[in-house]
Amino acid sequence: MRKSTQSAEALLSPYFEAKGWHAFDFQRDTWQAHAEGRSGLLHAPTGQGKTLAVFLGPLADRLHRESLDPKCPAACEVLWLTPLRALAQDTLRALREPIEHLAPHLAVEARTGDTSSAQRAKLRKKLPWCLVTTPESLSLLLTHADFRDQIVGLKTVIVDEWHELLGTKRGVQTELCLARLRAWHPDLRVWGLSATLGNLDEAREALLGLAFPGSSTISADLNKELVIETLIPAEIERFPWAGHLGTRLVEPVAKAIESADTTLLFTNTRSQTELWFQELLEARPAWKDDLAMHHGSLDREERELVEQRLRDGTLRCVVCTSSLDLGVDFSPVDQVIQVGSPKGVARLAQRAGRSGHQPGKTSRVLCVPTHAFELIEFSAAREALARGEIESRTPVSKPLDVLVQHLVTCIIGASIKPSDLRQEIQTSHAYRDLDDEEWEWALAFITTGGQALKSYPQYHKARLENDHLKLDDKKLIQQHRLSIGTITGDRSISVQFLGGKRLGTIEESFITRLKPGSQFIFGGRHLELVRFHKQTASVRKATRSLRGHVPIWNGGKMPLSNELSHAISRSLHDTGPPSAERLALQPILSIQQSRSGLPSDDTLLIEFTRTREGEHLFFYPLAGRLVHEGLGSLVAWRLGKYPGESIHITQNDYGFCLTARRGLSLDPRRLSEAFDSNNLLDDLLSCMNTAELARRQFREIARVAGLIVPDFPGSKAPKRDLQTSTSLLFEVFQRYDSGNLLLLQSQREILSKQFEINRLGEVLTSISKRAMRLIETDRLTPLAFPLWADRLSATLPAGDANSRLEAMLTLLNRETDPSSQVNH
Amino acid sequence: MLQISTDPPLTLIGAPAALTSSRALIVADVHLGKSATFRAKGLPVPEGDNEHDLGRLLECIARTGASRLVVAGDLIHAPAGKTTATLSAIESFLEACRIPVTLVLGNHDRNSGALPRDWNLEIVPALDLDGWHIVHDPADAPENRPSIAGHWHPAIRIPDGKRTSLRLPCFWLRGKNLVLPSFGSFTGGQVVTPLEGHRVFTVLRDQVVELPQALWRP
């Protein structure tokens, strides 16, 4: 059923004429493809009119049908999936605008976790022509038996910011929901929107599954101009070699903010955000009312207020984290500042794209280093971008926790034959090679518990009846609906004033380190912890003015990407005309070269230095901090066990350092053995505290798989009989069902999440082929210094709880018992 | 085994349990049938906890040559977990252990309803034994008399490193009242904050060790 685009364009022209716009080629191409019944992926930098490209196709289609049949029945025809519920309101605004011009009789509504229960009830009765929702809300809708009838007219699903979902379990959840919708509507068109990625084809395959031959990837290649500038410190010799706060450049940054109308200042962590906010306020007290902060832990109302003021252009500067990376269009922003390492090429480009959001405008980003070596990262990112070397996002492959959750979701909605369900699920990219064992396990998990002969007694959830899977226990259905959703993190603690005003949330691990009376900074306020009780930290304004702890949240450990690492290596050895950053860094690079050498992709630089603390080996594989953490543990373990000597490991994005009191050396044979790429997995499992890490990872898996009963909203008392902790469950599974595939999954996930196991393997293979450059230095080099300075920071202590406790007791005895010191 | 200098004397063992002067073995919070409760509510948790925990209890009785067993409350987790399998496991245990068994009722026992009358099991609200008053809830312990309780599942948090800590089930001696750690393998712990002068013990490789105050009140 080929329809001419001429008609699509003609149908849409009133809107474009009213706006005085011309349609871009990529918009026409997308309308054409949609009219031909095709699916695809559209990629474009932000601010390129891609919303109109994917949304107006379905609208033109509707207008076309209405022109043929004015009584064309009203129905829900379009689903718009957004990764962030915070984006739903902006999306509504963006979609309603053309609708008001072209088809005011069509409704666009949102249903997300933020939607009021009244609105939800309304939507339960009748869905609008276009429904904006999240993957979790869509899953939830699938559990309602009448949902299938409500979307009987569904024609198109649009997935916004697909690159954000790709590579996460929520992306897999999206894939599964789409597989369900495709099974219901074989002609369904699915369109994804994505920022630029290194693996766009794979991204498209993951979105569309196996059922879409002839799908297309359309690029909005408009040559959007992107300028990356760096604030170069005046005296590089006095600029720190290490650290990550970098507030030394506050004054020039304040000046840059003065020179623009509206600035977004991005930092890498929430604690850095708090710190820069404080420092800027100290530097320019007059900005008290025009300076704001935005990060994921602040209360929603507060964040929305900041977003609104950004849109209105009434703020001078917002200090923020990745919470403002996504989608939202803040046209007044005319300057973006990035503080600290960009970490990745795509990330820097994405942030830069927040300025000059309109098509045709130049995007600019001003980069602010927090220590000297970040200068080279900025120039490397610029160069990688010019070469089109952008990071990929690897889709998650068949996570079983998401699968069992989805199975229950499906059978609540309708009873299904297992073989049909399996066939449907295997049309998704994530589960395309799901094997019999995994499938049987997943089925058993929701019906009998254990596999085959080991079924769990008295367990009941879903059941097989007349060869159909069913679940009709009302309580279990309710329980499942509450537990839908796959994002979990550290438990969030609500921060509120004694009077009750909510300020936002903070991770439990942070708040438990504070004692009542301790001060900290949160949301730009100096606070004092009064008490912490039942998920709520009550605070009051700090009375004494004191520089408090800045809250340290998790999530600041993003490693340098592979692409950026390679670009750095290239920049360090580039013989062409040097960039401004490289010139500025030259004095420090010269010191590095005179004491040792520059690390590179084709040799492995290893330095050996003695200090008062003992002996240090510094390795510079340039592979990002997670890989270095894994490599450090592995190499330390393989270099051997010196009786009574422990090896301490520190790492950053450039390399890692081993420190011991004695026993380290530059022995080429032993070092090359330590980098052997064989037995990587076994050795890593033996040397790391993987059991402890897997236990932590199990928290997320247990929740997704429905092992944890969610608290019912509004009910204060948790279900006491079913109260447990995921770490206890982990032990119970290990003890009584050690072959459970969820345990294996948590080990697999922790290896890839904590150490980027695949990248680690690749790095190890490449290192074993590289030449080693061994250099003994009598002083720390500029590259060694940050690793040395970091030596006191704690990583997870090795050993199980017993040995850790023994070590502490022994130490305590030695300190308090004088005789043991004499006998030493 | 660790004899603590209380009056009357008491020995702590790694089971975890306490042993009085007449060799009465005291445990608390066994929570039998907990995994069965989860399964009954549609949560796929493997079984094995009943068998494992009752086995440990038998072994402990044999090893200590205990003259009687006192469960200081919460023998059974919940009504839904009081399945035929759970009940028959307890029945076999009562036959196999060959010593008198007393259950000091806990809140979970009360919620779980009556137990078969023909069981060889004495059930009491509280018990006085070898100079110790044994109750389930520490809140019901008398202030001026030595007592042993359970209920809280106490655990202690010990920082080791800048951002890491150990969380260990513990015996908590708070004045004259000793709170036992929970015995069941599918029971969690609740972190407690002992005060100056209290004593804290934990199990390290099957042995009870005292944790010096320096570790938990840094």
Q: Work out the burial of residue A623: count CB atoms within 10 Å of its CB; fewer than 13 is exposed, 13-18 middle, 19 or more buried.
A: buried
**Which pLDDT score is estimated for A523?**
75
| Contacts across the A-B interface (CB distance below 8 Å) | 125
Phi, psi of A411 (to 5 degrees): -80, -15
- A459/chain B closest Cα distance in angstroms: 4
Please give the ipTM for the structure prediction: 0.80
- B101/chain A closest Cα distance in angstroms: 25
A453 to chain B, any CB pair closer than 8 A? The answer is: no
A642 to chain B, any CB pair closer than 8 A? The answer is: no
- A170/chain B closest Cα distance in angstroms: 22
* pTM to 2 decimal places: 0.81
* Residue A674: CB atoms within 10 Å: 20
Single-letter amino acid code for the residue at B98:
R
Contacts of B45 in chain A (CB under 8 A): 449, 456, 707, 729, 732-733
The closest of A293, A287, A298 to A310, measured between CA atoms, is A293
For chain A, which ranges sit under pLDDT 70?
A: 1-6, 46-48, 212-214, 221-224, 242-246, 326-329, 357-360, 450-455, 485-492, 507-514, 534-535, 544-557, 640-646, 688-691, 710-720, 791-801, 813-824
Report cis status (omega within 30 of 0) of the bond before B44. no
* Record: contact B204-A805, CB cut-off 8 A: yes
* Record: contact A479-B42, CB cut-off 8 A: yes
* Record: contact A728-B188, CB cut-off 8 A: yes
Contacts of B49 in chain A (CB under 8 A): 732, 736
Task: Choose from A404, A459, A475, A508 for mutation: most chain B CBs within 10 A.
Answer: A459
Contacts of A445 in chain B (CB under 8 A): 44
- B214/chain A closest Cα distance in angstroms: 8
Q: Does domain B2-216 have CATH number 3.30.2450?
A: no
Residue of B nearest to A455 (CA): B46
Which residues 576-605 on chain A approach chain B with CB closer than 8 angstroms?
none
Spatial separation of the C-alpha atoms in residues A534 and A553, rounded to whole Å: 20
pLDDT tens across A480-505, in order? Answer: 988 886 554 455 678 888 888 888 77
Record: fold of A5-219? Rossmann fold (3.40.50)
Spatial separation of the C-alpha atoms in residues A112 and B80, rounded to whole Å: 35
Contacts of B41 in chain A (CB under 8 A): 475-476, 709, 721-722
- B8/chain A closest Cα distance in angstroms: 28
Angle between helices A625-638 and A680-687 (to 10 degrees): 80
Residue B22, H or E segment? none
The closest of A772, A378, A373, A749 to A592, measured between CA atoms, is A373
- A209/chain B closest Cα distance in angstroms: 30
* Residue A295: CB atoms within 10 Å: 24
Phi, psi of A569 (to 5 degrees): -55, -40
**Which pLDDT score is estimated for A554?**
43
Residue pair A283/A251 in contact (Cβ under 8 Å)? The answer is: yes
* Record: contact A794-B83, CB cut-off 8 A: no
Residue A202, H or E segment? helix A200-208
Spatial separation of the C-alpha atoms in residues A567 and A561, rounded to whole Å: 10
Domain with CATH 3.40.50.300 in chain A: 5-219, 226-386
Candidates A513, A707, A812; nearest CB to B43: A707
Single-letter amino acid code for the residue at A24:
F
Q: In which order are the strands placed within the sheet that holds B68-71?
A: B2-4, B10-13, B17-19, B24-27, B68-71, B101-104, B122-124
pLDDT level of residue B165 (50, 70, 90 thresholds)? confident
Candidates B37, B164, B187; nearest CB to A722: B37
**Which pLDDT score is estimated for A815?**
61
Q: Which residue has the higher pLDDT, A805 or B178?
A: B178
Which residues 495-514 on chain A approach chain B with CB closer than 8 angstroms?
509, 513
* Record: contact A812-B85, CB cut-off 8 A: no
The closest of A161, A220, A215, A164 to A190, measured between CA atoms, is A215
* Assigned token pair, A403: 């699968």
Domain ranges of chain B: 2-216
Contacts of A807 in chain B (CB under 8 A): 160
**Which pLDDT score is estimated for A489?**
45
Contacts of A449 in chain B (CB under 8 A): 39, 44-46
A744 to chain B, any CB pair closer than 8 A? The answer is: no
The closest of A705, A696, A691 to A742, measured between CA atoms, is A705
Contacts of B46 in chain A (CB under 8 A): 449-450, 454, 456, 732-733, 736-737, 740
* Record: contact A802-B204, CB cut-off 8 A: yes
Angle between helices B84-97 and B49-64 (to 10 degrees): 10
Task: Choose from A411, A510, A514, A722 for mutation: most chain B CBs within 10 A.
Answer: A722
3-state secondary structure of B3: strand
* Record: contact B46-A449, CB cut-off 8 A: yes
Candidates B35, B166, B188; nearest CB to A801: B166
Angle between helices A690-704 and A741-755 (to 10 degrees): 120
* Record: contact B52-A706, CB cut-off 8 A: no
**Which pLDDT score is estimated for A89?**
82
Single-letter amino acid code for the residue at A598:
L
- B157/chain A closest Cα distance in angstroms: 11
Contacts of A806 in chain B (CB under 8 A): 204
Residue A398, H or E segment? none
A793 to chain B, any CB pair closer than 8 A? The answer is: yes
* Residue B210: CB atoms within 10 Å: 16
- A168/chain B closest Cα distance in angstroms: 25
Single-letter amino acid code for the residue at A23:
A
In DSSP notation, B161-177 reads: SSS-EEEEEEEEEETTE
A553 to chain B, any CB pair closer than 8 A? The answer is: no
Residue pair A63/A77 in contact (Cβ under 8 Å)? The answer is: no
* Record: contact B214-A732, CB cut-off 8 A: no
A703 to chain B, any CB pair closer than 8 A? The answer is: no
* Record: contact B185-A731, CB cut-off 8 A: yes
Candidates A724, A737, A797; nearest CB to B46: A737
Which residues, at least 6 apart from A465, have a Cβ–Cβ distance to it below 8 Å? Answer: A415
Query: What does the DSSP 8-state code read for residue A744?
Result: H
**Which pLDDT score is estimated for A226?**
83
Candidates B77, B164, B205; nearest CB to A796: B164
Record: fold of A226-386? Rossmann fold (3.40.50)
A472 to chain B, any CB pair closer than 8 A? The answer is: no
Residue A699, H or E segment? helix A690-704
Spatial separation of the C-alpha atoms in residues A352 and A434, rounded to whole Å: 40
